[in-house]
Homo-oligomer: A and B are copies of this chain.
Amino acid sequence: MSTEIKSPLSGIIPPLVTPLLGNDTLDVASLENLIEHLIAGGVHGLFILGTTGEEQSLSYRLRKEVIAETCRINAGRLPVLVCITDTSLIESAALAAYAADHGASAVVSAAPYYFAPGQPELVEFYQELLSHLPLPLFLYNMPSHVKVNFAPDTIRRIAESGNVIGFKDSSANIPYFQSVKYAMKDHPEFSLLMGPEEVTGECVLLGANGGINGGANMFPELYVAMYNAARAGNVAEVCRLQQIIMQISSTIYTVGKHGSSYLKGLKCACSLLGVIKDDFVAAPYRKFNEPERLKIREALDALPVKDGKIIL
């Protein structure tokens, strides 16, 4: 049962962490808990198997299990976006077919990430991929991980090649994001979503459509409130909520060494909040040990939280 996406796709669409009990073992009960937590928190869609969802670290069997279980639990309540990023066009297409069969609403793809294709090669790659896709495509910019950045004109050319409904930017380069928005200004139905939660508020104030913000795994209401304030043009409220989000970012995502600290901190906090059971992180990463876990607990304690929710 798939949910049709209203254009442009808007709101807070959390990139779900993948609850694991081992490198190849999905924690289905925690996934159920997480999805109910998010839906109760008012989010506008579910984004699975992204960077936060550790897609690349998971086996294809497990990726499929995540797709099937998420669609089953969601039961048509929200649009489900499935990340099919791969180095192999064939495997991307296979995952897309599986997602369509199980009721997902759209697929998401960052650039192939072993070779670093040039911009014309990106256009050709996506034109070929689009011919295989049974679902609308969402582009995903993640240059730190895939080594290439979609040029604004590349996005426009891909978008005009087929059923491409939007773009998520995790580059953290906001002048670049504004350039993409400007290049797509004649496509108001094309959705522009922001990755880093530290800037989602300001980007939505200026017309972006929402955020794919990892922190919403912990506190969905906070990010939904930020989105609503920004959509309403309520600058003072955006500034107030921004302070809380910056506290989260500055304390929960900065424990341990850079690179993996965001993912480990987020999963650890989710487990401490009871949203998921264990914070197992798939290889090549590992979950925090006790000293780091204690720091995350202290960071959570310092937040204005009551009953597991941010006091809004």
Residues of A within 8 A of B (CB): 23-24, 51, 56-62, 87-91, 94, 111-118, 121-122, 124-125, 128-129, 145-147, 152, 172-176, 178-179, 181-183, 185, 196, 198-199, 201-203, 205-207, 233, 235-236, 238-239, 242-243, 246-247, 249-250, 257, 259-260, 282-286
Contact = CB atoms under 8 A, between A and B. Distances in A.
Given A57-B89, A89-B282, A205-B235, 18 more contacts: A56-B87, A57-B112, A59-B90, A60-B60, A62-B90, A89-B284, A118-B259, A121-B285, A121-B286, A172-B175, A174-B174, A174-B199, A175-B199, A178-B198, A185-B243, A202-B203, A206-B238, A207-B239
> How many protomers of this protein does the assembly include?
4
Contacts of A284: 89, 111-112, 115, 117, 121-122, 124-125
Q: 9 tightest CB-CB pairs across the interface, nearest first?
A: A56-B114, A56-B87, A175-B198, A59-B90, A202-B202, A182-B246, A174-B174, A125-B284, A117-B284
A250 B182 CA distance: 8
Contacts of A129: 283
A204 to B, nearest CB: 10
A176 B111 CA distance: 24
A201 B196 contact: no
Given A87-B57, A88-B57, A260-B117, A246 B179 contact: yes
Contact of A202 (B51, B176, B206): B206
A196 B285 CA distance: 30
A110 B2 CA distance: 39
Contact of A235 (B56, B183, B233, B249): B233
A183 B147 CA distance: 29
A93 to B, nearest CB: 9
Contacts of A61: 90
B183 A176 contact: no
Nearest to A230: B235
Contacts of A201: 206
26 contacts: A56-B88, A57-B87, A57-B114, A57-B115, A58-B90, A59-B88, A59-B91, A61-B90, A88-B282, A89-B282, A89-B284, A111-B284, A117-B259, A117-B260, A118-B259, A118-B260, A124-B283, A172-B176, A174-B174, A174-B202, A175-B249, A178-B246, A185-B243, A202-B202, A205-B205, A233-B235
